[in-house]
């Protein structure tokens, strides 16, 4: 991906994707806000109908209190008939009239408006005052019937100003007809719980989508950054490996050229020195090739390990003696295996490569005198050295492919960052576990647990 896009293009794509996600998030917030506004408008309309019903009931109750039940003079002006309808302005028209221009109300709405209009025209002559306490109660009851359960409800005359009542509440403005003066204002606490129940599904799905997008994007960024780091380490590995391969080839070539063309073969001492030097460089070259092949084999998912009983003491002694013989500095390796005849079931070739890598690292990253302690028992094996140690912030990275500690002797010590990666990969394939403890300047301890 980095090769295709390049980091510059990737940065542009990242900014573009972030912009798109931000716009989608903003659009979603706007949509939710619009949905909330739509639900609020619907609730206000419902509350207006509830206030109208409460007003009619309150007037009828007030009239009944002033007149006997049999006195029906207060309904004399109710202009309701099945063959007629009302317009929004209160005009009476035939039900069969052409419905163009102003909206003509349905039968039920016409009946309600007609009753309210008739009652108000009747009670105006008797100067009947509304009971606002009862009107509050009736308004609350009608809201409850409509499925709304506000904590506070208050109805006030239209000309009344009460900021303390209106604070934090929704307002319903009630007039009998479309263009008639306001009669009441109804106040009630917003039914947020009821609204949230309606939009909970949308909100939850939206939040989950946003979280999923955020997680995917963060994971993508982290993956790309790791790929970038891996690319850098691969480049570092290639440069190191090129140098590592060229050096022994050049030295062996020079030794042989001297023997063939400059008469060094006539001097036994020089001949032995040049041949021994060429042999050492070819041995080193063979080790490099072996490491590369080991890494290549490790990457194969089909890699199959042998399972043989290996007696640890002689196995470790042989490996240790080989390292002490070819080391260019003083190396002391002590081996403690309990019991002496301890055996483990493993692949001897790959297990040998694992131990070679651990011992070789202990020698390379130590001072002029190296002391290595190898201890083994039925639970596992440990390799302790008196070397330079590993800074704590790099402990978790030392087993990563191509990783090399960027401090200290990195430039002075040959390496290409695949040894410990190979150690971890092979031990895991064997069903074991490897770990490291280290103190800067005090050395390191690599431990392999046979049964993790």
Q: What is the pLDDT of residues 163-190, one digit of tens each?
A: 888 888 899 988 876 667 788 889 998 8
Higher-confidence residue: 108 or 29? 29
Which of 117-126, 172-181, 203-212 is predicted least confidently? 117-126
pLDDT at 203 exceeding the cut of 70: yes
Residues 276-302 pLDDT 10s: 777 777 776 776 676 666 555 555 555
Question: Three-state DSSP class for 329?
Answer: coil
74 DSSP assignment:
G
- Among all chains, which residue has been given the structure tokens 């651990």? 358
Identify the pLDDT of residue 392.
84
* Predicted TM-score (pTM) above 0.75: no
Q: Which residue has the tokens 């308004």?
A: 139
Average pLDDT over residues 40-49: 88
Separation CA 352–CA 350 (nearest Å): 5
Would you say the C-alpha torsion 68, 72, 77, 79 has a positive or negative sign? positive
Q: Are 438 and 389 in contact (CB under 8 A)?
A: yes
Instruction: Classify strands 330-337 and 369-376 as parallel, antiparallel or unpaired.
Output: parallel
Per-chain mean pLDDT for the chain: 76
pLDDT confidence of residue 123: 63
The residue that leads in pLDDT, 338 or 70, is: 338
Query: What is the per-residue pLDDT across 213-227, written as a single tens digit (0 to 9) for each?
Result: 778 878 877 777 777
Residue 113 reports pLDDT greater than 70: no
- Using 50, 70 and 90 to split pLDDT, how confident is the model at 238? low
* 310 pLDDT tier (thresholds 50, 70, 90): very high
Structure token digits, residue 289: 């090739």
């Amino acid at each position: 991906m980095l090769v295709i896009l390049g980091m510059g293009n990737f940065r542009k794509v990242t900014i573009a994707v972030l912009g798109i996600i931000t716009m989608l998030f903003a659009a979603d917030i706007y949509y939710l806000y619009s949905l909330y506004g739509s639900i609020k408008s619907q609730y206000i309309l419902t509350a207006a109908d509830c206030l109208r019903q409460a007003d009619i009931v309150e007037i009828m109750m007030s009239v009944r209190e002033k007149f006997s039940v049999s006195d029906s003079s207060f309904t004399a002006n109710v202009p309701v008939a099945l063959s007629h309808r009302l317009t929004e302005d209160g005009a009476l028209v035939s039900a069969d009239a052409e419905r163009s221009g102003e909206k003509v109300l349905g039968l039920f709405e016409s009946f309600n408006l007609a009753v309210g209009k008739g009652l108000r025209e009747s009670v105006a002559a008797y100067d009947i005052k509304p009971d606002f306490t009862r009107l509050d109660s009736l308004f609350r009851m009608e809201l409850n019937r409509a499925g709304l359960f506000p904590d506070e409800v208050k109805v006030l005359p239209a000309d009344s100003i009460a900021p303390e009542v209106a604070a934090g509440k929704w307002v319903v403005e009630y007039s009998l007809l479309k263009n008639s003066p306001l009669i009441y204002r109804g106040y009630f606490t917003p039914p947020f719980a009821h609204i949230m129940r309606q939009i909970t599904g949308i909100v939850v799905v939206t939040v989950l989508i946003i979280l999923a997008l955020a997680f995917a994007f963060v994971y993508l960024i982290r993956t790309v950054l790791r790929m970038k780091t891996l690319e850098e380490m691969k480049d570092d590995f290639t440069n190191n490996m090129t140098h590592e391969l060229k050096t022994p080839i050049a030295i062996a070539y020079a030794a042989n050229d001297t023997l063939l063309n400059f008469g060094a073969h006539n001097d036994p001492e020089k001949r032995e020195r040049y041949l021994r030097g060429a042999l050492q460089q070819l041995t080193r070259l063979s080790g490099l090739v072996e490491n590369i092949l080991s890494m290549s084999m490790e990457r194969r998912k089909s890699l199959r390990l042998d399972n043989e009983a290996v007696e640890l003491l002689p196995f470790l002694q042989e490996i240790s003696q080989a390292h002490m013989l070819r080391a260019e500095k003083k190396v002391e390796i002590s081996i403690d295996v309990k019991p002496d005849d301890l055996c483990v079931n493993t692949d001897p070739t790959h297990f040998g490569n694992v131990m070679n890598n651990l011992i070789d690292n202990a020698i390379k990253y130590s001072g002029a005198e190296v002391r290595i302690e190898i201890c083994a028992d039925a639970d596992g094996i440990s390799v302790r050295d008196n070397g330079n140690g590993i800074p704590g912030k790099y402990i978790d990275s030392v087993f990563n492919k191509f990783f090399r500690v960027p401090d200290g002797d990195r430039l002075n010590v040959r390496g290409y960052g695949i040894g410990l990666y190979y150690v971890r990969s092979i031990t895991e394939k064997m069903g074991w576990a490897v770990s490291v403890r280290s103190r800067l300047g005090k050395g390191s301890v690599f431990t392999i647990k046979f049964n993790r």
